[in-house]
């Protein structure tokens, strides 16, 4: 179908009784002067409309610098009031007095910028009891949120994903339940994520792989299940990965070898199965590797001997067998802990008990 509006006008006024002969001029689509005038008016109207539209588009493109931007109207004090009310503010060790007339930027644990937008909240060890309010997501200038060592319960609100300026999120040593919200993946500036010693369940969301700036991921001592998401290998800035003391299953993804900045990998006390991937030898910065108390099988890959910076390797309480590769024994500054009854050490002519260095 032809969508040209003029064509539609022509077709609508075409006289079907007139003959159509290829190569021969046909009768015009109008039959009298009145129809001719009508056709001209329509054509002129269309032309004017096209010209006006073109001018509007040109004006819009030439005035990009003048297009106003809109910032949401925030009420930082209202957000602080919600946090205070939802975490039993009167019982805090260092409480806030909203009736004093004091600027909220002077409250205990609060730092603001020149425009009185809140940039830091530090209420560690302050006896907060209750849950985090969803309003916390309105603090768009917030860069640090320190709430560790309190008695916070409930779940992490999904609105926390709105904190695009957040650099450090520390909720360690609380009683937080529920799952890690997938909206955490929206925290594009986040470098430190600490959720240790809570009662968080569910799986690690795949969206965590979107945190391209993440430096330290600290999720140990929770009730996290499921597997290590393959998207975690997208975190090329990751230096500390601590997932120990959970109920994580599945295998160690071979793609983990892509994390060239990784300094510490701690997977102790989980339900991880399978073998140690040989790609782990690609972790050129790795210094500490903890795999204690899992269900890992197979032998120790010789590629671990490529980890020239490795100083501590804990393989105890697994089902690993075979011998310690000579390549690994060549790392003279590495302490290797293993189960002597399943793993033998032939690097030197001596016998060692479990928990003793092979070197």
Q: Let me know if residue 322 belongs to a domain.
A: yes
For residue range 78-115, what is the model confidence (pLDDT) as tens digits?
999 999 999 999 999 999 999 998 899 999 999 999 89
For residue range 262-284, what is the model confidence (pLDDT) as tens digits?
999 999 999 999 999 999 999 99
Per the structure, how many domains does the chain have? 3
The answer to whether residues 14 and 119 belong to one domain is: no
Residues of the chain above pLDDT 70, percent:
76
Q: Let me know if residue 52 belongs to a domain.
A: yes
Q: Answer whether residue 193 shows pLDDT above 80.
A: yes
pLDDT band at 341; cut points 50, 70, 90: confident
Q: Let me know if residue 24 belongs to a domain.
A: yes
Q: Which of 2-11, 17-26, 231-240 has the highest mean pLDDT?
A: 231-240
Q: What is the pLDDT of residue 41?
A: 41
Q: What is the pLDDT of residue 359?
A: 54
Q: Answer whether residue 23 shows pLDDT above 90.
A: no
Q: What is the pLDDT of residue 358?
A: 60
The answer to whether residues 118 and 200 belong to one domain is: yes
Q: What strands, in cross-sheet order, belong to the sheet with 264-266?
A: 110-112, 118-122, 144-146, 168-170, 192-194, 216-218, 240-242, 264-266, 288-290, 312-314, 335-337
Q: Answer whether residue 49 shows pLDDT above 80.
A: no
pLDDT band at 133; cut points 50, 70, 90: very high
Q: Answer whether residue 354 shows pLDDT above 90.
A: no
The answer to whether residues 140 and 222 belong to one domain is: yes
The answer to whether residues 216 and 104 belong to one domain is: yes
Instruction: Report the CATH number that the domain containing residue 313 is assigned in CATH.
Output: 3.80.10.10
The answer to whether residues 111 and 204 belong to one domain is: yes
The answer to whether residues 284 and 348 belong to one domain is: yes
The answer to whether residues 307 and 232 belong to one domain is: no
Q: Let me know if residue 112 belongs to a domain.
A: yes
For residue 114, the enclosing domain spans 76-248
Q: What is the pLDDT of residue 69?
A: 40
Pick the last residue of a domain from 248, 272, 301.
248
Predicted structure pTM score: 0.77
Region 16-30 average pLDDT? 40
The answer to whether residues 145 and 52 belong to one domain is: no
Q: Let me know if residue 71 belongs to a domain.
A: no
The answer to whether residues 167 and 104 belong to one domain is: yes
């Amino acid at each position: 179908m032809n969508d040209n509006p003029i064509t539609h006008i022509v077709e609508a006024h075409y006289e079907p009784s007139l003959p159509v002969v290829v190569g021969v001029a046909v009768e015009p689509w109008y039959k009298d002067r009145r129809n001719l005038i009508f056709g001209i008016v329509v054509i002129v109207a269309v032309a004017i409309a096209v010209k006006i539209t073109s001018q509007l588009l040109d004006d819009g493109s030439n005035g990009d610098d003048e297009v106003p931007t809109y910032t949401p109207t925030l009420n930082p004090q209202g957000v602080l009031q919600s946090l205070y009310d939802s975490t039993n503010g009167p019982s805090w060790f260092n409480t806030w007095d909203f009736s004093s007339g004091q600027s909220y930027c002077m409250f205990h644990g609060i730092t603001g910028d020149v425009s009185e937008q809140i940039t830091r909240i530090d209420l560690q060890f302050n006896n907060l009891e209750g849950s985090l309010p969803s309003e916390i997501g309105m603090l768009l200038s917030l860069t640090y949120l320190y709430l560790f060592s309190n008695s916070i319960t409930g779940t992490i609100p999904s609105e926390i994903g709105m904190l695009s300026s957040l650099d450090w999120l520390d909720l360690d040593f609380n009683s937080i339940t529920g799952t890690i919200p997938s909206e955490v993946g929206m925290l594009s500036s986040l470098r430190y994520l600490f959720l240790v010693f809570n009662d968080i369940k569910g799986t690690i969301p795949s969206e965590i792989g979107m945190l391209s700036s993440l430096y330290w991921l600290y999720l140990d001592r929770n009730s996290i299940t499921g597997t290590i998401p393959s998207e975690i290998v997208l975190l090329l800035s990751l230096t500390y990965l601590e997932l120990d003391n959970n109920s994580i299953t599945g295998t160690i993804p071979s793609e983990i070898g892509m994390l060239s900045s990784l300094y510490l990998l701690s997977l102790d006390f989980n339900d991880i199965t399978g073998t140690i991937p040989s790609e782990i030898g690609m972790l050129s910065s790795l210094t500490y590797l903890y795999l204690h108390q899992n269900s890992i099988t197979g032998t120790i890959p010789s590629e671990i001997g490529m980890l020239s910076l490795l100083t501590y390797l804990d393989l105890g309480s697994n089902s690993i067998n075979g011998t310690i590769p000579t390549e690994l024994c060549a790392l003279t500054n590495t302490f290797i802990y293993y189960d002597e009854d399943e793993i033998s050490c032939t690097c030197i002519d001596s016998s060692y008990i479990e928990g003793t260095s092979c070197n």
